[in-house]
Amino acid sequence: MFVRTATRRNKDGSAVRYVQLVQNEWDPATKSSRMRVVHSFGREDQLDRAAVERLAGSLGRLLGHGQQTGGAAPELAYAGSVAFGGTYLLDQLWQRLGIGQVMTAALDRTRRDATTERVLFALVANRALEPSSKLAAAHWAGRTAHIDRLPATTDDACYRAMDWLHQVRGPLEKQVFSQVAAALNLEVDLLFFDTTSTYFEVDGEDEPVPRDKDGSPVPGSEAAGQKAMGGFRVFGKPKDHRDDLPQIVIGMAVTRGGIPVRVWCWPGNTADSALIRQVKDDLREWTLSKIVRVADRGFTSQANRRYLRCGDHHYIIGEKLRSGSAEAAAALSRQGRYQEVTANLRVKEVKIAEDERFAICDNPEGAEHDAATRARLLAQLKEMTEGTDTLTATRRAELRGVISAKPGLNRYLRVTPGGLLRIDAGVVKAEENLDGKYLLRASDPKLSAADIAAGYKQLLEVERGWRDMKQVIDLRPAYHRLEQRIRAHVILCWLALLLIRIAETAAGTTWNKITDELGQLTLGTFTGPAGTFRQTAELTSVQRDIFARLQIPCPKKIIEAAAPATAGGKAQASA
């Protein structure tokens, strides 16, 4: 085995020399010796001589039982690696959207440490990549994952940064929205709004304090004359089916493209119908153009609708067909043809009032689901009531009480004047007419029925946001007891979801697939006589494609380099 050079001539007559490690092998068929290329080192003029010297050194130590040959350079020592790909992508989006610049400009007007912005980014990246407590996140930043310009941090620094974030949350949210809207050319003519709740596994409610009309605590100097008193984590109507635990209510506004533009927090006993007024007032302060707000059925009260129409704004709100309202009954009685919007959505407009428009939507797939659910409930109810005529009145009353605690079954139950339990055929027939249908109420006269239906269907983007915030970003559990830190925690989750949605939209794939691929991109640390440097792993074609779709430059090969420590104990570093 030996090293040789092979020459290849280009069309222009120039010669290119390649360095190869070859081995002579005997070919029995031709009864001659043939050279086999074991490894190609590439072009001679682009040869990585340092790598060849390290190989020669390794062979020398093998042959000399640990003695290094005179011409081989000392080998570098591998000191470890940290995650790099995910934090690099998020940091690039963070800077492109101007979030870092907004925070830095706000910090310049205070005496706080300039690294506060970096600490907040680290907490946001932790929520997006490896959700954990703030104590674990402080250990994660720098030790497990690379955060640019933040070699390490502490849990105290994280808490101080969150306290500052809560103090500036109002103007910060507005400036972040302006930066994001300008960078992404967001269409904010249609905003989707919905709420959720998140519970806390604590013994009881928070102590009541004076609060303003928006549910925010009032400072002691301004509390005089405030009549509203209440805690933040209190019992309310949960959406997580945990009515035994105190909760808070969280609202989120999302664009038609699924980009979350703002979040709100309220005490846990705040009703949905009262929240939309504050949301409208807050967004009005952002001086947005005409907006059509899309909300779920919990916001359909007449007072809410009247308030939403102030200022030349409009709404699309879902209406319960089973509510028994005059509008629902009138809409169902109107004749007309359905217009197909998508493969699984048909819509027809019905004329009921002069100042509002109504559209009935029909989802064939939803109709099949409703029918299957009803069949399962009826079979269960039939099994429970079959043969009950022979029971005593007391036993039937007990069974009636059990069924009444199950709304899905109780809906179809009828009790005869004699106390017998029967399935209500009239209710079943009425329910069949409602399979897959829902009613929409809109105030904008220029929207077509198809646009009304498509706009309301996009409300699923908010529901997907809640699902990802709870399952991907781990909104819960929140390891905080102070209200300002709980509110700051929600803002961090919102910023993480914002970056995730932008990455998914640009890359055309899910966040899980992005992180699975970029999780393989690590940053290694090497030390040697010449100093210490940090080098990224080789990029795969899929990783390069992700960066290209997001219009993010591929990371540099060498991230940091530092000379050996001088006599004074300091080292010169470069990035």
Q: Is 419 helix (H, G, I), strand (E, B) or coil?
A: coil
Cα distances from 110 to residues 76, 113, 167, 176, 182, in angstroms, run 44, 9, 12, 19, 27
- The residue count of the chain comes to 575
| Cα torsion 30, 35, 37, 38: sign | positive
Q: What are the strands, taking DSSP E only, across 44-181?
A: 77-83
* Per-residue pLDDT at 386: 93
Instruction: Tell me the pairing of strands 573-574 and 77-83.
Output: unpaired
Nearest one of 39, 21, 28, 96 to 551, comparing CA atoms: 96
Q: How far is it, in rounded angstroms, from Cα 106 to Cα 518?
A: 32
pLDDT in tens, 271-297: 776 787 788 888 877 766 566 778 777
Secondary structure (DSSP) of 465-533: HHHHHHHTS---S----SHHHHHHHHHHHHHHHHHHHHHHHHHTS-HHHHHHHHTT-EEEEEEETTEEE
Q: What is the pLDDT of residue 311?
A: 65
Task: Name the DSSP class of 417.
Answer: T
CATH architecture of 188-218+228-347+444-480: 2-Layer Sandwich (3.30)
Largest separation between any pair of C-alpha atoms in the chain = 107
Would you state the pLDDT for residue 69? 46
Q: How many beta carbons lie within 10 A of that of residue 202, not counting itself?
A: 11
d(CA 19, CA 14): 17
User: In the chain, which residues have pLDDT < 70?
Assistant: 64-74, 220-227, 273, 287-291, 311-312, 323, 565-575
Q: Which amino acid is at 95?
A: Q
- SS3 string, 215-264, reads CCECCHHHCCCCCCEECCCECCCCCCCCCCCCEEEEEEEEECCCCEEEEE
Closest CA to 174 of 293, 262, 103, 281: 262
For residue 507, give Cα distances in angstroms to 325, 503, 542.
45, 6, 11
Q: What is the DSSP letter of 434?
A: T
CA distances from 532 to 54, 73, 562, 565 (A): 17, 15, 5, 10
Tell me phi and psi for residue 490, to 5 degrees.
-65, -40
Domain ranges (residues) in the chain? 2-75, 188-218+228-347+444-480, 366-433
User: pTM of the prediction?
Assistant: 0.76
Looking at residue 44, its pLDDT comes to: 82
For residue 279, give both structure tokens: 């949301």
Name 574's bridge partners: 561
Helix (H) or strand (E) holding 193: strand 190-199
Scanning the structure block, which residue is given the tokens 């059990």? 402
